[in-house]
Structure 1
Amino acid sequence: MKATVPSELKKLYRQGRVVPFVGAGASMSLEWITSVSAAAQKGPSWSEMVSEACRIMGYSDPELLRYRGTDLQILEFFGQKMGNFAPLTNWLVRKFDVDDSAIAGSKVHTALAALINSRTYYTTNYDDLLERALRLGGRQVKVVARERDMGGTEPVEVVKFHGDFNNPDLMVFSEAHYYKRLRYDSPLDLKLRSDLLNRVALFVGYSFSDVNIGLLFDQLNELLKSLPDSDNGKRAYIVVNNPSDFEYTLFKRRNIEIIPTYGDKRTETLFEVLEEIVA
């Protein structure tokens, strides 16, 4: 069944009023071959990253720590035990060793870059796949991770809401990091509130299967509540594959409207949604 994009979202896109918010699912949709392995590689999920953190600390079975606490608490434990998150960051950098050809061949990243009426993108991903895709699509990009990055003349901004490999001190990993961000008073929080004035957010690559996502959406919903009503009463949309009453109920509470897709080919259906927005 082909997804149907709400007509009001397509209208807002034509008016340049859609702000894409890109999550881990976009990076996980990309497959590539590395120089050391003939097997296809994918970007790691949040759960895979936490499991690797457990192994770095010497726990061969990550479920032993998951029995003790949440993923965010495990990462808090990691930061305390290891002294910093450099070992985990280094692992992520190696996992995202991706050639330009693979990014250019990614339907999802190509479709994101083709949203030419969107001039500001947000992402919670640490990798650089989104900005590279935009540049490969011929667009000039300014990466914003902290206050001093704001401004400039580049026509497209990619806001790294949880930091990135070039700003490891800003990477949001642990429970303590989230508590700090939930104050809603960082320069990026203030920028997001400003960027969403008379605009709507479009979430792609997100689900409630990752433990940090509920906290992120609560944070964004808190910011959105302080904004005036949009023209159509909507503040955010999210693409969800095979949604159930579970997703509809939880996203409705956060004032986020679901764009449903169906079937097992998540990459294909997400691509179709992005393509239909600009049609």
Structure 2
Amino acid sequence: MEIPEELIEEIREKKVILFIGAGVSELLGSAPWGKLIDEMALELGYDRDVFKSMGNHLELAEFYNIRKNSMESLINWMNINWHNSNIKIQDSNVHKLIVDLDFQIIYTTNYDRWIEKAFEYYNKEYTKIVTMDDLVNIKENVTEIIKLHGDLNEENSIVLTESSYFERLNFESPLDIRLKGDILGKSILFIGYSLNDINIRYLLYKLNDLWQCSKNRSCRPKSYIFLLNKNSVQQEILENRGVETIIYDRDDKQNGIQNFLKELWIKVNDFEK
């Protein structure tokens, strides 16, 4: 696993945005995404295997919302099952390393509150941004945690149904406008994502599209994505869109994100010299 020297230097200079996906939360042992679909099936009176065969998760969530006319019950389920009292944030080295690496801006598509809980446990101040109103709370030199797909505390912010996702594809909400400004000026490091995730693929496409329309393409900051598995087809597509891949080339995939962040922290803090 080779970590680019340019990425290390940019993190030291606070020029990198961290983007966190579901893979980071799954390391905590919270209920996997498939269990959420099972819960929808249960509440609607469907056999779970039959229900899963009837559409993708966006369509199934849309159908659930039509039938129930609310996401409240499902969000309550997520709150309980994704914030299990048996999970101890202090046991997650990944979350400690995220705090210790001291990124000034963190974006996440996760709904849960584990990133915030980590900052609270280690007594590090942060500002959570979920809606446009939160943008007025920004403080200098305080990490911003921007929840691009919403927060479980605010039902109306959740991007889960097909309709809400299509609205997000417009890329014109206040948070999207903020995101555009951020990604045009800083490098991005993506962790916890699978390239089968349409969210990340669309975001990377939009990022590339923004720069293709720019007269200053030579000034484009680099973007990086950490992947547990090598895929030469996906890698070439990403590189064509200006994204450098960092491939974890070891067998212990379960510890991949932790080992990557640990090595990154060591190099950023110059402890190898």
**TM bucket normalised to smaller:** 0.7 to 0.9
Closer, same or farther in 2 for the Cα pair 1:46/1:151, shift >3 Å? Answer: same
Change (3 A) 1:198 1:229: farther
Whether 1:111 aligns to 2:97 is yes
Name the residue aligned to 1:144.
129
1:197 deviates by 3.1
Secondary structure of the equivalent of 1:163?
A: coil
Letter in 1 for 2:60: I
1:138 and 1:239 map into 2 onto residues whose CA distance is: 27
5+ residue gaps in structure 2? 268-273
Counterpart amino acid of residue 71 in structure 2: F
Q: What TM-score, normalized to structure 2?
A: 0.86
1:17 pairs, out of 15, 18, 31, with 15
How big is each residue's C-alpha offset from its partner over 1:157-192, in whole Å with a ceiling of 9 and x where there is no partner?
100100011111010001111110111110000111
Give matches, 1:196-211, under 5 Å.
196-210=183-197
Aligned position for 1:273: 260
Percent of residue pairs bearing the same amino acid type? 29
Q: 1:237·1:257 contact (CA, 8 Å) conserved in 2? A: yes
Q: Secondary structure at the match of 1:184?
A: coil
Structure 2 counterpart of 1:122, from 97, 101, 107:
107
Superposed displacement of residue 225, structure 1: 4.9
The answer on 1:65 being equivalent to 2:51 is yes
SS in 2 for 1:173: coil
Matched, 1:236 2:234: no
Matched residue, 1:55: 42
In terms of fraction of residues, the more helix-rich structure is 2
Does residue 76 (structure 1) correspond to residue 62 (structure 2)? The answer is: yes
Provide the rounded CA distance (Å) in 2 between the counterparts of 1:183 and 1:235. 24
CA RMSD of aligned residues (A): 2.4
**Which residue pairs with 1:161 in the alignment?**
148
Q: TM-score, normalised by structure 1?
A: 0.85
User: Does 2:10 match 1:6?
Assistant: no
Taking the aligned partners of 1:46 and 1:101, their CA distance within structure 2 comes to 17
User: Are residues 86 and 221 of structure 1, via their aligned partners in 2, closer, same or farther at CA, if it must alter by over 3 Å?
Assistant: farther
Aligned partners of 1:257, 1:77: CA distance in 2, in Å? 38
Instruction: Measure, in 1, the Cα distance between the counterparts of 2:90 and 2:48.
Output: 37
Amino acid at match of 1:51: D
Q: CA deviation at 1:212?
A: 4.7
1:242 partner SS: coil
